[in-house]
Amino acid sequence: MRSRLIEVALAVLLVAVPLTTVAQEKAPGFVLKTASGETIDMSKLKGKAVVVNFWATWCGPCRAEIPGMLEVYAAYKSQGLEIVGVSLDQDGWAKVTPMVKSMNITYPVVLGNDELVNAYGGFRAIPTTWFVDRNGIVKEKQTGSLKKEQFEKLVKSLL
């Protein structure tokens, strides 16, 4: 009797699983400006694979992952990759601009705020990186510094 109940339970699970859909989370939108005044509008990046990387100049792990991100950006930008660096520095451009220049950051960098952090889940640690596919759907969220190889693998899954 017990084995029959297990068989029935498994059959119900097997039938129910295909009917279940995985919720597809759309990436929160934003419209922010770079230090040079260029507008970065998340809605206008549809059609590209987008990486949204939250960081700060004072964050060692954030600084450590930037060189690998730059290499991946250079390799895949022509295939539709866009990276948006969102600095959470409270001192704003006074701190961010010198670091962007010294590290030769070639992807757009904008300043974030609490409202944007809350829209992206209210995370409490940086770096936090969101990987968004060409349709604007979040495919992966990572907290903590990523090695170049990890970062590249996640980027390739979006392209």
- Which residues form the domain of 146? 25-158
Domains identified in the chain, total number: 1
Condensed to tens digits (0 to 9), the pLDDT of residues 2-58 reads 333 333 333 333 333 333 333 579 999 999 999 999 999 999 999 999 999 999 999
**107 occurs within a structural domain:** yes
**Adjacent-strand bridge partners of 130:** 52, 141
Q: Does 11 fall in a domain?
A: no
DSSP state of 137: B
Does a structural domain hold residue 13? no
Q: Are strands 81-87 and 109-111 parallel, antiparallel or unpaired?
A: parallel
pLDDT per position as a tens digit, 103-132 = 999 999 999 999 999 999 999 999 999 999
96 within domain boundaries: yes
Is 3 within the bounds of a domain?
no
The pTM of the full predicted model, rounded to 2 decimals, is 0.84
In a domain, 6, yes or no: no
CATH of the domain at 60: 3.40.30.10
